[in-house]
Amino acid sequence: MSEDALPSARPGHTRRTVPIWLKGMGPLLLLVVLVFLFLRFGPVGVFRQAFPPVEELTVERITLPRPGQMQVRVVNGGPEPVTIAQVTVDDAAWAHALNGGRTVGRLESRTITIPYPWVEGEPHTITLLTSTGTTFSGEVAVATQTPTADARYLSTFALLGVYAGVIPVFLGLLWLPFLRGIGQRWLDFFLSLTIGLLVFLGVDALAEALELAARVPGAFQGLSLVVLGTVGTLLVLMALGQWKGKTGAGGERSPMYVSMLIALGIGLHNLGEGLAIGSSYATGEIALGTFLVVGFLIHNTTEGLGIVAPIAHERPSLGHLVLLGALAGVPTVLGAWIGGFSYSPLWTTLFFAIGVGAIAQVVYELWRLFARRAEGGLARPLNVAGLLCGMLVMYATGLFVAG
Amino acid sequence: MPDQESMGEYNNRSEPSESRTVGNEPASEAQTTAPLSRRQLLKAGALGAAALAAAGGALARPGRGAAQGRGDSASPDAHGGPAEHSSHETMMSVGDVEVKPGSFDPTAFLTHFDTGKVSRLPSGQTLREYQIVAMDREVEVAPGVFFPAWTFNGQVPGPTIRCTEGDRVRVKFINGGSHPHTIHFHGIHAANMDGSFEIIPAGGVFTYDFDAEPFGLHLYHCHSVPLKRHIHKGLYGVFIIDPKEGRPQAREMVMMMNGFDTNFDGENEIYAVNTVAHHYQKHPIPIGLGEQVRVYLVNITEFDLINSFHLHGNFFRLYRTGTRLDQYEFTDTVMLCQGERAVLEFAYKFPGKFLFHAHQSEFAELGWTGLFDVQGRSNV
């Protein structure tokens, strides 16, 4: 922002007494001064209550690094510092060590190491007792040793990501020749079906994000994170779309660009999915059985179809196709790796929210694509059927993986 | 045990205590024989079966000197060392409740009896006068855990009132608390001395005046409503009426089984005898080999139906309510309902450390566990 960019309110007034940046900063500086004065001299006591402050601790993650040891990560998302006085495991006071002081400041976190002989396959409850006697609990649903980031773990999740993300997406891409052979009407049907898939995935991701937002420590405002992630991504992608991706005179998106967007949106969704899978696996909440992996395989194959539908009449190079598949599938692997050993509800919420925004953007692009076609757009019965089919397919294949 | 330090960031008693170094011998045997059986060991410990004696001093070693709750740094325990030699010492509250001048010391409370100000009435009857003041006070029920208690004379349990059968007992009660309170003594007395209907408002004064009968082990507690809250907040104490002929010579101690619902959800988070979780486990009670010991055991635990006392390596003579001197049961475990009490007598045949604890494993593991340190030679 520069001064000459602004219309001058008083032309002829040339005396530059106050620089424009200072005018902009003025209120902020005053605010800083006032906050300081308030904290220094203000009647803070008026707002204090006689009873102990409301304490809030969030158990972010419990891991079982090895037999006989548990680790708990807690975050203070409340308004006041909280002092962790004692720890009980399954209603027994237990020895423990903290990686810092017992008083956890606002937005600070601690990792508590507990030498507790946990029992494979059984649930455990860890309770933190604060100095005021308030309790905060976390549960281990099914105790199993948390995998460490070794070669075996990384390869397991790479394999899982390949099966659940990469292979199905590439399989879906193989529909390209089929899509080439059918007429425009049926291609529109499959494009609508793609929109259906995406809407389903978007809602699914939003639901995940909102569910996780509840587990984000209060001060980090989970719900606001979801809104920020979703709307922010949507806006950034739209701005990027204005800047790039235009071909021809009408400002129409290139089909390849649309496909890339779809792949990106699905990829971000799969990143969140990978995070959730990795974390659940690591904390023993799910056992990745054959059934579940097959479920992901089927569920995600339809994603590949969605990616190639817009480029049915293009001649994409093999490199492009590989890029599309990788964009959509590989994030599953990355997500699973990250989720497995560094899971936090905060980041996973944000990733899911970003996925929602990206998917919303793709749906918007496809909608525009249809609007430009003369033949009735999405409201055509066949296209409506496609939309519904897309959602139904996702629902039906989702039965394999929903828990 | 290098990484013990990581668990000991709480202040300890300022004076060096023997208990810091005691207690490793009994468990070391079990540890060396089978590192693989650690789980079984701990499981056994949870049932109170194995040598929990190791617990005594392991955690009560010198801390880092900084005040608790000030963000003093515990040494990071990157490798989770405590699990390496996990044993019963791990099943305990961490740290120790610092005893400052004027604060409650369970060790002192154990053997402290308030026999009142003694004088003789014109009739020749012995008069014992006491003063009890109700006051709101925060008490530390486990290291670093503060409970907003209502107390008699600033302590939970209140002072142990002791007299002899037939004495005239006069208790001046001053309610210095923020709520109406009373003192309801168990015993045989007039209706207006029962402390159940004459509620003393905050700032009020009342004198309870009655003859001590029958002899036995009784208790006193506040009888204001809501009763549950007035009791679990800490308004209770032990009331002993000795028989005229006295009881046989013994080392006497008072144990009031209590619990604390620190988060006010209707369940106890902390259990103990005499308020402080694991206190007598960290500071074992020394007794002599073959010495007669008498425990005045009272249960005031709120929320739970019963509480219990189990003695290791020994059996005791059990005198229910302490109202008879001749009839007893010979056992090692006694179960008491809330308000029920019993006199226990025993002497140890073998030296060493012996556990006593609630035989409800949960209570034991949440603080109601202690140790007797029997000192002397076994061949004497």
Whether B86 contacts chain A with CB within 8 A: yes
Most confidently modeled range among A1-5, A179-183, A283-287, B127-131: B127-131
Q: What is the pLDDT of residue A173?
A: 77
Rounded average pLDDT over B85-91: 60
Q: What is the pLDDT of residue A282?
A: 67
Rounded average pLDDT over A269-288: 71
Q: Are residues A222 and A91 in the same domain?
A: no
Residue A83: which CATH number? 2.60.40.10
Q: Are residues A275 and A392 in the same domain?
A: yes
Residue A285 has pLDDT above 90, yes or no: no
CB contact under 8 A, A68 and B76: no
Q: Is residue A229, in this structure, part of any structural domain at all?
A: yes
H/E/C letters for each residue in chain A?
CCHHHCCCCCCCCCCCCCCHHHHHHHHHHHHHHHHHHHHHHCCHHHHCCCCCCCCCCEEEEEEEEECCEEEEEEECCCCCCEEEEEEEECCCECCCEECCECEECCCCEEEEEECCCCCCCCCEEEEEEECCCCEEEEEECCCCCCCCCCHHHHHHHHHHHHHHHHHHHHHHHCCHHHHHHCCHHHHHHHHHHHHHHHHHHHHHHHHHHHHHHCCCCHHHCHHHHHHHHHHHHHHHHHHHHHHCCEECCCCEECHHHHHHHHHHHHHHHHHHHHHHHHHHHHCCCCCCCHHHHHHHHHHHHHHHHHHHHHHCCCCCCHHHHHHHHHHHHHHHHHHHHHHHHCCCHHHHHHHHHHHHHHHHHHHHHHHHHHHHCCCCHHHCHHHHHHHHHHHHHHHHHHCCCCC
Q: Is residue A194, in this structure, part of any structural domain at all?
A: yes
Domains for chain B: give ranges and CATH numbers.
113-242 (2.60.40.420), 251-375 (2.60.40.420)
Nearest CA-CA distance, residue B145 and chain A, Å: 4
B:118-157 residues touching chain A, CB 8 A cutoff: 141-147
pLDDT-wise least confident of A184-198, B33-47, B146-160, B297-311: B33-47
CB contact under 8 A, B70 and A101: yes
Rounded average pLDDT over A47-70: 80
Nearest CA-CA distance, residue A208 and chain B, Å: 31
Final residue of a domain: which of A116, A140, A164?
A140
Whether B74 contacts chain A with CB within 8 A: yes
Residue A130 has pLDDT above 70, yes or no: yes
Give the closest of B70, B89, B366 to A95, CB-based: B89
Residue B46: partners with Cβ closer than 8 Å, 6 or more residues away: A92, B91, B361, B364, B365
Sign of torsion over alpha carbons A93, A97, A101, A104 = negative
Chain A residues touching B46 at Cβ < 8 A: 92
Q: Are residues A313 and A359 in the same domain?
A: yes
Instruction: State the pTM of this model.
Output: 0.72
**What CA–CA distance (Å, rounded) separates A37 from A31?**
10
Task: Give tens-digit pLDDT for A192-239.
Answer: 888 888 888 888 888 888 988 888 887 788 899 899 999 998 888 888
More reliable by pLDDT, A384 or A397: A384
Q: Is residue A26, in this structure, part of any structural domain at all?
A: yes
Q: Is residue A403, in this structure, part of any structural domain at all?
A: no
Task: Give tens-digit pLDDT for B300-332.
Answer: 999 999 999 999 999 999 999 999 998 889 999
Q: What is the pLDDT of residue A332?
A: 82
Q: Are residues A175 and A43 in the same domain?
A: no
Question: How does strand B293-299 pair with strand B251-260?
Answer: parallel
Task: Give tens-digit pLDDT for B200-210.
Answer: 999 999 999 99
Mean pLDDT score of chain B: 81
Whether B73 contacts chain A with CB within 8 A: yes
Q: Is residue A145, in this structure, part of any structural domain at all?
A: no
Can you tell me the ipTM of this complex?
0.72
Give the closest of A92, A95, A131 to B7, CB-based: A95
Task: Give tens-digit pLDDT for B64-85.
Answer: 333 333 333 333 333 333 333 3
Final residue of a domain: which of A102, A118, A140?
A140
Residue A161 has pLDDT above 80, yes or no: no
Residue A77 has pLDDT above 80, yes or no: yes
* Residue from B6, B90, B98, B265 to probe the interface with A (highest A Cβ count within 10 Å): B90
Q: Is residue A33, in this structure, part of any structural domain at all?
A: yes
Q: Are residues A69 and A101 in the same domain?
A: yes
Q: Which residues of A touch B (CB under 8 A)?
A: 65-66, 68-69, 71, 83, 85-88, 91-103, 105, 113, 115-117, 119, 129-135
Instruction: Please name every residue paired with B295 in a beta bridge, in sequence order, or none if there are none.
Output: B253, B344
Q: Are residues A254 and A310 in the same domain?
A: yes
Q: Are residues A32 and A108 in the same domain?
A: no
Residue B21 has pLDDT above 50, yes or no: no
Q: Domain range holding A81?
A: 58-140
Final residue of a domain: which of A78, A113, A140?
A140
More reliable by pLDDT, A391 or B62: A391
Helix axes A222-243, A184-213, angle to 10 degrees: 150
**Is the CB of residue B168 less than 8 Å from the CB of residue B128?**
yes
In chain B, the residue whose alpha carbon lies closest to the alpha carbon of A130 is B145
Matching residue, tokens 């510092």: A81
Q: Is residue A53, in this structure, part of any structural domain at all?
A: no
Number of domains forming the structure of chain A: 3
pLDDT-wise least confident of A220-229, A393-402, B17-26, B148-157: B17-26
The single-letter code of the amino acid at A133 is: G
Chain A residues touching B145 at Cβ < 8 A: 85-86, 129-131, 133
For the record, the structure tokens of B228 come out as 């549950």
Q: Are residues A193 and A79 in the same domain?
A: no
3-state secondary structure of B303: coil
Q: Are residues A76 and A180 in the same domain?
A: no
Q: What is the pLDDT of residue A27?
A: 84
Q: Is residue A123, in this structure, part of any structural domain at all?
A: yes
Give the pLDDT band (50/70/90) at residue A249: very low
Chain A residues touching B78 at Cβ < 8 A: 99
Q: What is the pLDDT of residue B303?
A: 95
Task: Give tens-digit pLDDT for B238-271.
Answer: 999 999 999 999 999 999 999 999 999 999 999 9
Rounded average pLDDT over B285-309: 96
More reliable by pLDDT, A363 or B184: B184
Give the closest of A85, A91, A100 to B365, CB-based: A91
* Residue from B93, B96, B178, B282 to probe the interface with A (highest A Cβ count within 10 Å): B93
Q: Are residues A276 and A387 in the same domain?
A: yes
Q: Are residues A232 and A376 in the same domain?
A: yes
Chain B residues touching A94 at Cβ < 8 A: 90-92
CB contact under 8 A, B83 and A83: no
Q: Are residues A186 and A328 in the same domain?
A: yes
